[in-house]
Amino acid sequence: MSLAPTLRQYLAELGIGYEILAHQRTTSSRATANAAHVPAGSLAKSVVLEDEHGFLVAVIPANCRLELGQVHRLLDRRLGLATERAAATLFRDCEVGAIPAVGCAYGLEMLVDDSLVDQPEVYMESGDHRELLHMSNGQFRRLFSTAWHGHISHLYL
Protein backbone atom coordinates (compact mmCIF):
# COMPACT_ATOMS: atom_id res chain seq x y z
CA MET A 1 0.00 0.00 0.00
CA SER A 2 2.26 2.85 1.28
CA LEU A 3 1.33 6.37 2.34
CA ALA A 4 -2.45 6.78 2.50
CA PRO A 5 -3.63 9.15 -0.26
CA THR A 6 -5.69 11.31 2.14
CA LEU A 7 -2.66 11.73 4.39
CA ARG A 8 -0.31 12.46 1.46
CA GLN A 9 -2.61 15.20 0.16
CA TYR A 10 -3.06 16.76 3.61
CA LEU A 11 0.69 16.90 4.31
CA ALA A 12 1.32 18.40 0.85
CA GLU A 13 -1.34 21.09 1.39
CA LEU A 14 0.28 22.10 4.68
CA GLY A 15 3.82 21.86 3.31
CA ILE A 16 4.85 19.39 6.01
CA GLY A 17 8.21 17.75 5.36
CA TYR A 18 8.62 14.06 6.09
CA GLU A 19 10.49 10.92 5.10
CA ILE A 20 9.22 7.37 4.68
CA LEU A 21 10.90 4.62 6.68
CA ALA A 22 10.26 1.05 5.51
CA HIS A 23 10.19 -1.86 7.95
CA GLN A 24 9.04 -5.46 7.99
CA ARG A 25 5.31 -6.03 8.44
CA THR A 26 4.16 -5.73 12.05
CA THR A 27 0.86 -5.85 13.90
CA SER A 28 1.50 -3.69 16.97
CA SER A 29 3.09 -0.31 17.55
CA ARG A 30 5.71 -1.72 19.92
CA ALA A 31 6.65 -4.36 17.32
CA THR A 32 6.79 -1.60 14.70
CA ALA A 33 9.22 0.43 16.83
CA ASN A 34 11.43 -2.64 17.20
CA ALA A 35 11.28 -3.57 13.50
CA ALA A 36 12.01 0.01 12.39
CA HIS A 37 14.74 0.47 15.03
CA VAL A 38 13.15 3.63 16.42
CA PRO A 39 12.54 4.55 20.08
CA ALA A 40 9.03 3.50 21.15
CA GLY A 41 8.68 6.85 22.92
CA SER A 42 9.08 8.61 19.56
CA LEU A 43 6.52 6.46 17.71
CA ALA A 44 3.11 8.14 17.81
CA LYS A 45 0.22 5.70 17.95
CA SER A 46 -3.42 6.59 17.42
CA VAL A 47 -6.29 5.66 19.69
CA VAL A 48 -9.68 6.41 18.16
CA LEU A 49 -12.24 7.54 20.73
CA GLU A 50 -15.92 8.38 20.44
CA ASP A 51 -18.85 9.80 22.35
CA GLU A 52 -22.24 11.27 21.46
CA HIS A 53 -20.48 14.30 19.92
CA GLY A 54 -18.38 12.27 17.49
CA PHE A 55 -14.90 10.89 17.11
CA LEU A 56 -11.52 12.08 18.35
CA VAL A 57 -8.03 10.71 17.76
CA ALA A 58 -5.76 10.60 20.81
CA VAL A 59 -2.07 10.36 19.95
CA ILE A 60 0.29 8.82 22.48
CA PRO A 61 3.76 7.22 22.42
CA ALA A 62 3.90 3.53 21.48
CA ASN A 63 5.35 2.64 24.89
CA CYS A 64 2.45 4.23 26.77
CA ARG A 65 -1.16 3.52 27.60
CA LEU A 66 -3.94 6.04 27.27
CA GLU A 67 -5.35 7.48 30.50
CA LEU A 68 -9.04 7.88 29.69
CA GLY A 69 -9.62 9.64 33.01
CA GLN A 70 -7.13 12.32 31.99
CA VAL A 71 -8.89 12.69 28.63
CA HIS A 72 -12.25 13.06 30.41
CA ARG A 73 -10.89 15.75 32.76
CA LEU A 74 -9.03 17.64 30.04
CA LEU A 75 -11.89 17.78 27.54
CA ASP A 76 -14.87 17.42 29.89
CA ARG A 77 -16.14 14.61 27.66
CA ARG A 78 -16.87 10.95 28.44
CA LEU A 79 -15.10 9.39 25.48
CA GLY A 80 -14.69 5.64 25.07
CA LEU A 81 -12.74 3.46 22.67
CA ALA A 82 -14.21 3.32 19.18
CA THR A 83 -14.66 -0.08 17.60
CA GLU A 84 -12.21 -1.32 15.01
CA ARG A 85 -15.08 -1.30 12.52
CA ALA A 86 -15.81 2.39 13.18
CA ALA A 87 -12.12 3.25 12.84
CA ALA A 88 -11.93 1.38 9.53
CA THR A 89 -14.89 3.41 8.26
CA LEU A 90 -13.19 6.69 9.23
CA PHE A 91 -9.81 5.74 7.71
CA ARG A 92 -10.99 4.03 4.50
CA ASP A 93 -7.66 4.36 2.68
CA CYS A 94 -5.68 2.76 5.52
CA GLU A 95 -5.11 -0.85 6.51
CA VAL A 96 -6.95 -1.93 9.66
CA GLY A 97 -4.71 -1.20 12.65
CA ALA A 98 -2.37 1.14 10.77
CA ILE A 99 -4.15 4.42 11.48
CA PRO A 100 -1.97 7.49 11.00
CA ALA A 101 -1.68 9.84 13.97
CA VAL A 102 -2.94 12.64 11.72
CA GLY A 103 -6.67 12.32 12.31
CA CYS A 104 -7.10 15.95 11.30
CA ALA A 105 -6.40 14.86 7.71
CA TYR A 106 -9.67 12.91 8.00
CA GLY A 107 -11.61 15.78 9.58
CA LEU A 108 -11.29 14.47 13.14
CA GLU A 109 -10.49 16.30 16.35
CA MET A 110 -7.04 15.59 17.79
CA LEU A 111 -5.58 15.26 21.28
CA VAL A 112 -1.80 14.85 21.49
CA ASP A 113 0.19 13.67 24.49
CA ASP A 114 2.68 16.32 25.61
CA SER A 115 5.53 13.81 25.76
CA LEU A 116 5.50 13.50 21.96
CA VAL A 117 5.90 17.25 21.52
CA ASP A 118 9.22 16.99 23.40
CA GLN A 119 10.69 14.31 21.11
CA PRO A 120 13.42 15.51 18.70
CA GLU A 121 11.94 13.32 15.97
CA VAL A 122 8.55 11.63 15.65
CA TYR A 123 7.47 8.55 13.72
CA MET A 124 3.92 7.43 12.94
CA GLU A 125 1.97 4.96 10.85
CA SER A 126 1.57 5.87 7.19
CA GLY A 127 -1.62 3.92 6.62
CA ASP A 128 -0.11 0.46 6.20
CA HIS A 129 1.88 -2.01 8.29
CA ARG A 130 5.18 -1.64 6.39
CA GLU A 131 6.09 2.06 6.42
CA LEU A 132 6.37 4.87 8.92
CA LEU A 133 6.33 8.61 8.46
CA HIS A 134 9.34 10.29 10.02
CA MET A 135 9.41 14.02 10.73
CA SER A 136 11.33 16.53 12.77
CA ASN A 137 10.01 18.03 15.97
CA GLY A 138 9.37 21.31 14.16
CA GLN A 139 7.25 19.66 11.48
CA PHE A 140 5.36 17.65 14.12
CA ARG A 141 4.62 20.81 16.12
CA ARG A 142 3.37 22.57 12.96
CA LEU A 143 1.18 19.63 12.06
CA PHE A 144 -0.49 19.57 15.49
CA SER A 145 -0.48 23.27 16.34
CA THR A 146 -4.30 23.41 16.54
CA ALA A 147 -4.77 20.08 18.37
CA TRP A 148 -5.61 19.70 22.04
CA HIS A 149 -2.52 18.86 24.11
CA GLY A 150 -2.08 17.33 27.55
CA HIS A 151 -0.62 14.58 29.70
CA ILE A 152 -2.94 11.75 28.65
CA SER A 153 -0.82 8.62 28.92
CA HIS A 154 1.47 6.68 31.22
CA LEU A 155 4.48 4.52 30.49
CA TYR A 156 4.08 0.76 30.51
CA LEU A 157 6.63 -1.99 30.16
pLDDT score, position 108: 97
Task: Give the residues of the chain that fall short of pLDDT 70.
Answer: 1, 157
Q: How many domains does the chain have?
A: 1
Any domain includes 157: no
In b/e form, how buried is each residue of 90-125, taking b as 16+ CB within 10 angstroms?
bbeebbebbbbbbbbbbebbbbbbebbeebeebbbb
Q: What confidence score (pLDDT) does residue 2 get?
A: 79
Q: What is the predicted pLDDT for the residue at 99?
A: 93
Task: Write down the pTM of the prediction.
Answer: 0.94
Residue 9 lies in a domain: yes
- Looking at residue 157, its pLDDT comes to 65
pLDDT digits (tens, 9 = 90+) for 46-74: 999 999 999 999 999 999 999 999 999 99
- CA of 29: how far to CAs of 15, 36, 77, 78, 108, in Å? 26, 10, 26, 25, 21
The answer to whether residue 24 is domain-embedded is: yes
**According to DSSP H, which parts of 63-113 are helical?**
68-75, 84-90
Q: Domain holding 84: CATH number?
A: 3.90.960.10
Boundaries of domain holding 89? 5-152
18: in domain: yes
